[in-house]
Amino acid sequence: MGTSTVPPLKIAVLHYQPSGDPIDPVVDHICHALKELGHAPVTIGVHKGIFDLLEAIDHANADLVFNVCETFADDYRLEVNVAAVMEMARLRFTGSGTAGLLLAQDKVLTKQLLQYHEVLTPNFVTFDGDTFDAFGRMQFPLIVKPARSDASIGIGKHSVVQDWDELTRRVREIRRTYNDEAFAEEYIEGREVYVGVIGTPQRPEILPIIELDWGDWKAKYKVSDRDVKFGPDTEGSPGLVIAKDISPELKARIERSALLAFKALKICDYARVDFRISSKTNEPYILEVNPNPYLEKDSELAMGGEERGLSYTQLIGRIVESAATRYAIKAKPERTQSGETPAVDGGGRAEKSERAEKSERAEKSERAEKSERAEKSERAEKSERAEKSERAEKSERAEKSERAEKSEKAEKSEKAEKSEKAEKSEKAEKSEKAEKSEKAEKAEKAEKAEKSEKAEKSEKAEKSEKPEKSEKAEKSEKAEKSEKAEKPERHDRSERADKGEKVERVA
């Protein structure tokens, strides 16, 4: 039993199981290791049918799914979708999620990401049917690969091409046979090594480097095809060994690249990174990154673990531990009323109640936070309102007093004006009256004088000059009449003067 901090869990090992096929030995290896670790493993074999998958997982009611399902419905590209379904069902499972599986499955995308992070990968060229896009300078020979393949599908000795004719032919073949885009990259002559990485994205650990020993390989280009990977292990056939004679400097470069790739591709829990070390430059080139790599007892990862001092069981334990850390599954010290640890069989439910408790706590604290926020904002609002009303009151008061002052002043000045006017008008009245009375007096006097003069004159006329006057008046009247008959009337000055003269003369 390992020194795991993970509590005993019910773990469902999810694997691909076409009906009639023998069970992959890796399932047994993992179950055995889980048992040794104190967990309760169950197996879930899926083939096709999404409802079967969901029903089987639901029925298992496991605390954790150990996901080794690399194919679904006979399509290895649907490995991503199995993870997606589990994510949608809010299940906790080991290994990468949809992001990591998707990014690593597409080799072109992987290479673009690696180039972005300045991690060495062979220069390459992509084809979309009509045109091609080159990423870096290249030299034949190139190796042509399907963009989204695995386990050397579509890769063999015929994959290495020497010129454009061979290249276009191979690109067409891949498109036709594998219904996939093809890309070509520089063939890197040199050692082929594999590096295991285990742990969370925050604390990944690099395992010792494993090398592919080519044995009696005679062909010029060495390509790990399906025969190399899955063929019988006979004498002289290629096999895995612990890499020797790698300088500390080269080892450091390989490890650095592997770590960067693990993080850049959003890998979780475990991965294997495939390298070629150029025999020309001694540089390590990443060929691809494998999330959820094969975990058989004699796999590269198991070998690397062993070399590090980790038994196979401990390696499986480290993967479970990494997943448990990501999902915050912790050992529960408290016991149920019957004194049992609520883990293995009822673990799913116990875990669920823990989750419910957590979410309740989170909800409560959120509610408290919200109400505190609301209270704060209310307080702030109130004090703002009070401040505003105070300000408004003050300004109103100030305004009022100003207005009052003004109106008082205005009143005063009005009064003053009025009184001034009144005074003036009184004075004017008085002076007018005085004037008037003076005038009236004068007029009276003049009238009186006139009257007395007239009376005097009329008296005199009456008394003495009555005949003379009438004679003269008669004369002048006659003269005037005769003159008018002689000359027409003229209106200029001289004439008037004339007239006057004449009148005088006549008179």
Closest CA to 6 of 306, 311, 305, 328: 328
Which of 182, 223, 271, 323 is close enough to bind ligand ADP by CB under 6 A?
Answer: 223
Check residue 288 for interaction with ligand ADP (CB under 6 A): yes
Q: Mark 107-118 as b/e (b = at least 16 C-beta within 10 Å).
A: bbebbbbbeeee
Which part of the chain contacts ligand ADP (CB under 6 A), choosing from 78-86, 144-152, 478-486, 488-496? 144-152
User: Among residue numbers 423 through 482, which ones bind ligand ADP (CB under 6 A)?
Assistant: none
User: Among residue numbers 261 through 290, which ones bind Mg ion (CB under 5 A)?
Assistant: 274, 288
Which of 63, 79, 181, 192 is close enough to bind ligand ADP by CB under 6 A?
Answer: 192
Check residue 269 for interaction with ligand ADP (CB under 6 A): no
Check residue 211 for interaction with ligand ADP (CB under 6 A): no
Check residue 185 for interaction with ligand ADP (CB under 6 A): yes
Q: Strands 182-186 and 190-199: what pairing?
A: unpaired
Q: Which is nearer to ligand ADP, 29 or 222 (CB)?
A: 222
300 makes contact, choosing from Mg ion, ligand ADP, none, with CB < 5 to 8 Å by partner type, with none
Which of 119, 188, 320, 350 is close enough to bind ligand ADP by CB under 6 A?
Answer: 188
Check residue 276 for interaction with ligand ADP (CB under 6 A): yes
Closest CA to 214 of 189, 188, 238: 238
Shortest distance, CB of residue 356 to ligand ADP, whole angstroms?
42
Which H or E element spans position 240?
strand 239-242
Closest CA to 259 of 325, 204, 326: 204
Check residue 152 for interaction with ligand ADP (CB under 6 A): yes
Q: Strands 64-67 and 10-16: what pairing?
A: parallel
Shortest distance, CB of residue 215 to ligand ADP, whole angstroms?
14
Angle at 195 between CA 190 and CA 196, to 5 degrees: 160
Give the other-Cβ count within 10 Å of 483's Cβ.
14
Beta strands in 414-495 (DSSP E): none
Shortest distance, CB of residue 163 to Mg ion, whole angstroms?
26
Q: How far apart are CA 182 and CA 107, in angstroms?
A: 10
x/- track of binding to Mg ion for residues 287-306 (CB under 5 A): -x------------------
C-alpha distance from residue 237 to each of 152, 232, 277 (Å)? 17, 8, 21
Query: What residue ranges bind Mg ion (CB under 5 A)?
Result: 274, 288
Residues making contact with ligand ADP (CB under 6 A): 122, 143, 145, 149-152, 155, 185-188, 192, 223-224, 274, 276, 287-288
